[in-house]
Structure 1
């Protein structure tokens, strides 16, 4: 085992030593390699792709790394693999691949041709976003699972996916790959990883204040611990947490730089940074500004409302997408049993007694808008959408595309598998201030359709 490579990877990717060792043992010795296919799986931002790429580069192994989101057809997939394994440089003028390849038989033939010229034994094919194989040609997954047996070349295929392998069981006769699991980071692991970013924190302070406060690793670790106490419950994405931790550290340090408090007064620092962290939670995943712009915005206004309204106004959503988002908010924060009363005309008004009103307004923390979003089905979302929309439009692919865009923007979360067509569920990620701004842009009174305010 090359200790230098292992030490480097474990230093660059802390808390992933076990997975790095597993992968190295499976592909690090080409002469002893026995794994035909390896299935690497885990959630988003857990290091699957980065570690695989770094390991292959450090071992100087010939490999073809292919993202199946980009290579969405078998033709693109075949030609990309052939280009990379043959070291073929595509002419930007002609765009000609190594060979035009439309089927698996031609792909294997050209691969053996490359092998005869440059010996592909010990090479690796990496299929990132492997879950896309489920919607591609039926023979791709079974063939790549037993690829060495079919092409007669010592090539290992690595699948990288966010889904477990059981989700691929729709195909009969699949060969079981060796599995390597990348679990989500726990809070202690995230604390250790984010605490390593202290040099970025120092640079952020210099960029904003042109001077550096004298803080040590314990000070930054305490900040990260406070940061995770608010963010860990709602986000486990390391990339997003790292981004948010860096841009909020400047706000955390402002009272010290402005001589308002000392570096040891952690309670005052926490009290002052808490509103900024809560405001950042509202724009999680949106990344509407870079670090410098975020810092300048924070200095211009301490009001979180300004930030939320500004985000809502800068989002260039199509007209129907705004109504879909409003409908999603209503579906998330209204009980399903209230839909008839809220959205159906001539449903028969319920007579409210004084006890009903008193019970409804007794404790503000019991309001649905304070308890968090609830899941809802696609059918219910569309029913509310058509109810609140004044126009008569038919159901078409355009609406589904706009719904997918809201999920991609993290304004909605999909709680179902992408291949589940019946009873798909979603959850709305935006808060009341955000959706109220969106509603004003289209002239919609959202309070009128929320059960929390119906008694007022």
Structure 2
């Protein structure tokens, strides 16, 4: 086929037709197919296939009905202007999937660009222009873009020209009705630009000029037919610029709740009752570590195979006796999977001293009797997360001015050396300060202070356990600063999601986010006992 006969196929048509083998037909038939594709090129800006209903859209995303209806109200009726919208939330919360399926429901034309695949400004600009100009890179055009664009000023001019041409085409071609229900038509003359993974732009060399440009596109172009939708994993507070911009309308996607995750994982299960009994065992402990669907799916797949091993028939409905048998079979593998999910390997299970450690722990439990739960916590948490939680507790309870003296090279200060016999007046002042402290609650601290305390106490813990028996081999593997610091930000995010640590506002002087520990002193002491960490030596008593 010559260059003059090469069809201009849009991105969505290319994805649909790329799976099929190109057929070798007569040039006349190829020419007819080319003319057909060219005449319907405007319709390729929407999803092909049968349009989904609103009920199908809501049922596809359990727990997101409120957000779906909110976004539909923001988009408004056909051809209504849209204020720039900013969707943000954690990973795997349904932001991108929901907005794309909404356009499949509404059958409105849109342009999608991911800032991960479009990893610099030139590729991002050219990707948007190629889709607006209905241009596809192929061998006939040398895999070149329709327009070469590197400067933001050129992008604005080319974007205005391409949008004007496309809007005129949409006005002249409102969509052709088809007898087949599976075909889609373009609804309206609004064109929506979707920028996904916008937080990646902050790492670009020219991010200081690209971000204000993208946020100000609506005001620069002044085209009511243009709608801008930004998708990011971080909030608007993380996008700072010296030039300033009009902030788009924010829409927050929270993490899925435990009930939402259950509904998601129960969809399309061959044996719902069997899988429901499996979720009763694994969903709650895993939700304390992560609520990302991709991570949970990766962890649940091998666990469910282990859970079904004692069953001869996978279609059987387990009774209470069978559930207890399945739980006993699965229980040893849950802890391993929990540690793998939290990116911390549980080394004692892999060492020969595991049996000795288990026997010692059993004997200790017998000696404690009724107080056996004092040194144990009733939920699973990795070693690095425990030390991070202790660090946050100390940062909230201790004054920042005493960090240098409390976390010195001697392994903490001795409170007994600092005690002096005070007068009645000093004792009254001390009681007054303690009451004020109790009324104020735990203080806030920046991330830098948390990391510094975390590094100090983990290095001290490694020193304290350096001469002990291999029963603390897990601490040797996890206690080093290099091993624990590698995953510190992920652990902090998990603790914030579990409400062990809360994230406060940014300090106007420091310009960084501040955190606050929400656990009680009893909980902190219980966690410290599980690590055999001397928390009282590092806790400042007024």
**TM tier, smaller:** 0.5 to 0.7
Give the whole-Å Cα distance in 1 for the aligned partners of 2:199 and 2:264: 28
Deviation, structure 1 residue 16: 1.3
Aligned pairs for 1:179-198 (under 5 A) are 179-198=250-269
Distance 1:425 1:250, change over 3 A: farther
Distance 1:407 1:158, change over 3 A: farther
The match for 1:264 among 309, 314, 319 is 319
Aligned pairs for 1:420-431 (under 5 A) are none
Please tell me whether residue 163 in structure 1 is matched to residue 234 in structure 2.
yes
Q: Which has the larger radius of gyration?
A: 2
CA contact under 8 A between 1:338 and 1:451: conserved in structure 2?
A: no
Distance 1:281 1:64, change over 3 A: same
Give the whole-Å Cα distance in 2 for the aligned partners of 1:42 and 1:331: 24
Structure 1: tracts of 5 or more residues without a match: 200-215, 289-302, 308-325, 349-374, 389-401, 427-449
Please tell me whether residue 174 in structure 1 is matched to residue 245 in structure 2.
yes
CA contact under 8 A between 2:112 and 2:194: conserved in structure 1?
A: yes
Structure-1 residue corresponding to 2:190: 122
Structure-1 residue corresponding to 2:93: 46
CA contact under 8 A between 1:378 and 1:423: conserved in structure 2?
A: no
Tell me which moved more, 147-156 or 375-384: 375-384
Count of aligned pairs: 350
Give the whole-Å Cα distance in 2 for the aligned partners of 1:3 and 1:247: 36
CA contact under 8 A between 2:406 and 2:412: conserved in structure 1?
A: yes
Determine helix, strand or coil for the equivalent of 1:255. Answer: coil
Structure-1 residue corresponding to 2:219: 149
Please tell me whether residue 251 in structure 1 is matched to residue 306 in structure 2.
yes
Deviation per CA, 1:377-431, whole angstroms, max 9, x where unpaired?
555678899999xxxxxxxxxxxxx9999459968969899x99998999xxxxx
Structure 2: tracts of 5 or more residues without a match: 1-49, 171-188, 352-382, 396-401, 414-446, 463-481, 497-502, 516-531, 535-542
Distance 1:262 1:104, change over 3 A: closer
Give the whole-Å Cα distance in 2 for the aligned partners of 1:346 and 1:12: 55
Q: CA RMSD in A?
A: 5.0
Structure-2 residue corresponding to 1:222: 277
CA contact under 8 A between 1:19 and 1:182: conserved in structure 2?
A: yes
Determine helix, strand or coil for the equivalent of 1:181. Answer: strand
Distance 1:65 1:304, change over 3 A: farther
Deviation per CA, 1:322-342, whole angstroms, max 9, x where unpaired?
xxxx99998888999999999
Distance 1:84 1:409, change over 3 A: farther
Give the whole-Å Cα distance in 1 for the aligned partners of 2:90 and 2:406: 40
Give the whole-Å Cα distance in 1 for the aligned partners of 2:511 and 2:456: 15
Deviation per CA, 1:429-452, whole angstroms, max 9, x where unpaired?
xxxxxxxxxxxxxxxxxxxxx968
* TM-score, length basis structure 1: 0.60
Structure-2 residue corresponding to 1:77: 124
The match for 2:334 among 263, 266, 277 is 277
Deviation per CA, 1:286-341, whole angstroms, max 9, x where unpaired?
699xxxxxxxxxxxxxx99349xxxxxxxxxxxxxxxxxx9999888899999999
